[in-house]
Amino acid sequence: MDFMKYTISKGYKVDSYEFGHQLSRAGMGASIEAEQYGKDIVVLKNLVKELHLDPKTQPKALSPSGYYDEKWFNSFLEVSRQEVVDGVTHHIYNIRPGDDPNMITKIQDPSYLNQVAQTYKGVLNIVNKFKPQSRAWVFKSGRALHGGAKDVSQTFANGFWYFDQLGMASTYNHKVFCRQTLIGGNYALLNTTTSIPNPDYYGVLLWHRLMGSTVLAVTQEFNQNLRVYAHCAKKKLGISIIFINLSKDSSFNVTLSNYEHQSRNLRTTNVAKPNYEFRGYQNREEYHLAALAGNIQGQIVLLNDIQMVPTKTFDIPAIEPKLVNASTPISVAAHSIVYVTIRDFQAPLCA
C-alpha cells in the first residue's frame, strides 16, 4: 500500500497492478490455492478503488500471471467477482527448457508450435465463461525458461517462434503479449552488452507499425511449414499479412482469395502461372526479413536484402517497403519472414 500511495503522491501514471507471479497450480516451486487467490484479488481491487478515486484513471487489476491450469483458473475466476479482474494473465514458455539440445529443431517444427494453441484456446474459453468484460493477456513469454536458449533466443531463428506466437495470441483474442525481455538474459530484444537490437526487434517493430487490432480469419491449405496471419492494416485502409516460412528448402508463391462472410483464404503454388482470384491494382508494400547468408542462428538480419544495423548515432535505420506489382504472386523465400500490406484488398471489417 505504501508503494501505491507513493506513486500517487508523485503523480505517476500506473496502467495496472499485477497480482502474484507464477503461483497458480502449475507454479514454479510454490503455489496458492485458487479459492484463496480469488479472495485476495478482491482485496487488491478494493484497495485500488480506495486509493485511485477517478474511475477514468484507475489502474487495472491483473491476475493470476501463472501457467495455465484449467481447473485452477476455473476456481480462481469463480471465486473472484465478475467485475474484479480486468485482465486474465498467463505465461507462455512452450519450448523449454533453455538448455534443450533440440531447441533449433523444435522452433522449426509446425506440429510442435501448434501444441500451444490449446493453451490459448483454454484461456479464451474461461475468460468468455467467467469474465467476458475482461481480456486475456500473455503477461510473460520468452519461449524458453531460465534466461532463454543461448545461440537460439537472440538469433534470427527465434522469430519463427515469436511472430507465430503474436499471430496465434491475436487469433485467440488475447489483447496483450508481453515479451520477456527488453534487455537481460538470452531472450532479450536488445543485446545485453551493447544494447544493439537483436533480430526480433526489427520484426516486432514491423508488427507494431503494420498490424492493426482487428484480426481476420485466414487459411492456407498447401504446406504446414508456411504460417500465415492477417489483420486489418494499422491506421490506413487495407490488410496486413505476415508469412513465416519454417522450411529451409522450400520457397512459396502466394496468391490471395477473398471469400464471403469475411473469411480469407491464401493459396500457395510453385507453378509458374498461379490462378489469380484477387486482382489488386495498387502496388503492394512488402518487407522481407531474412538471415544474413542464410544463417538462421546468426544475429544479423536483412530487410529487403539490406543489412539492419544501427546508424553511427545508434538510431534505428530507415525501414522502407519494397513496392511490388500487384499482378504478381507474393514470393516467400525459404527460412524467411515476410510482411505484406495491400491497400486495395476489400475486407469489410477493415473499411
Confirm if 297 and 153 have CB atoms less than 8 A apart. Answer: no
For the chain, percent of residues with pLDDT exceeding 70: 93
Residues 55 and 189 reside in one and the same domain: yes
Whole-number pLDDT of residue 262:
40
The contacts of residue 126 (CB under 8 Å, 6+ apart) are 70, 73, 74, 77, 88
Q: Which of 12-21, 79-88, 328-337 has the highest mean pLDDT?
A: 328-337
- Ranking 29-38, 79-88, 258-267 by mean pLDDT, the lowest is 258-267
Residue 141, phi then psi, degrees to nearest 5: -155, 135
Residues 218 and 180 reside in one and the same domain: no
- Say whether pTM exceeds 0.95: no
Residues 290 and 322 reside in one and the same domain: yes
Residues 341 and 218 reside in one and the same domain: yes
Residue 146, phi then psi, degrees to nearest 5: 60, 45
In a domain, 205, yes or no: no
3-class DSSP state for residue 276? Answer: coil
The contacts of residue 167 (CB under 8 Å, 6+ apart) are 227, 229, 242, 244
Residues 236 and 332 reside in one and the same domain: yes
Domain that holds residue 324: 214-350
Query: Which of 145, 165, 195 corresponds to the end of one domain?
Result: 195
Q: Answer yes or no: is pLDDT of 79 > 60.
A: yes
In a domain, 161, yes or no: yes
The contacts of residue 27 (CB under 8 Å, 6+ apart) are 66, 67
Query: Which of 195, 223, 256 corresponds to the end of one domain?
Result: 195
Residues 319 and 269 reside in one and the same domain: yes
Q: pLDDT by residue (tens digit) across 263-295?
A: 344 544 433 333 334 767 899 999 999 999 999
3-class DSSP state for residue 277? Answer: coil
Residues 20 and 100 reside in one and the same domain: yes
In a domain, 222, yes or no: yes
- Ranking 86-100, 118-132, 182-196 by mean pLDDT, the lowest is 86-100
Residues 291 and 162 reside in one and the same domain: no
Residues 87 and 30 reside in one and the same domain: yes
Average of per-residue pLDDT across 200-204: 98
Whole-number pLDDT of residue 179:
93
Task: Provide the mean pLDDT of the chain.
Answer: 90
Cα 240–chain centre separation: 15
Q: Which of 191, 196, 178 is nearest to 142 (CA)?
A: 178
Residues 162 and 258 reside in one and the same domain: no
Q: How many CB atoms lie within 10 A of CB 202?
A: 23
Cα 63–chain centre separation: 19
Q: What is the CATH number of the domain that holds 246?
A: 2.60.40
Residue entry with cell 491464401: 266
CA torsion 82→86→88→91, rounded to 10°? -160
Is the bond leading into 199 cis (omega within 30 degrees of zero)? no
In a domain, 134, yes or no: yes
Confirm if 256 and 268 have CB atoms less than 8 A apart. Answer: no
Residues 23 and 85 reside in one and the same domain: yes
Q: What is the CATH number of the domain that holds 167?
A: 3.20.20.80
Residues 28 and 171 reside in one and the same domain: yes
Query: Which of 195, 226, 253 corresponds to the end of one domain?
Result: 195
Helix (H), strand (E) at residue 207: helix 199-210
pLDDT band with cut points at 50, 70 and 90 for residue 142 = confident
Whole-number pLDDT of residue 279:
65
In a domain, 201, yes or no: no
Whole-number pLDDT of residue 20:
86
In a domain, 329, yes or no: yes
Q: Which of 136, 207, 197 is nearest to 172 (CA)?
A: 136
Confirm if 60 and 41 have CB atoms less than 8 A apart. Answer: no
In a domain, 209, yes or no: no
Locate all alpha helices (DSSP H) within 95-182, ordered by sequence. Answer: 103-106, 110-114, 117-130, 158-171
Give the C-alpha separation, 243 to 163, whole Å.
9
Q: Which set of grid coordinates corresponds to residue 55? A: 474511475
Whole-number pLDDT of residue 220:
87
What's the sign of the alpha-carbon dihedral 88, 111, 109, 216?
negative
Q: Answer yes or no: is pLDDT of 297 > 50.
A: yes
- Per DSSP, 304 falls in state T
In a domain, 207, yes or no: no
Strands (E) located in the chain: 16-18, 60-66, 87-92, 135-141, 174-179, 211-220, 226-233, 239-245, 252-258, 263-269, 284-291, 301-303, 306-307, 322-324, 330-332, 336-342
**Considering its fold, how many domains does the chain have in total?**
2
For the chain, percent of residues with pLDDT exceeding 90: 74
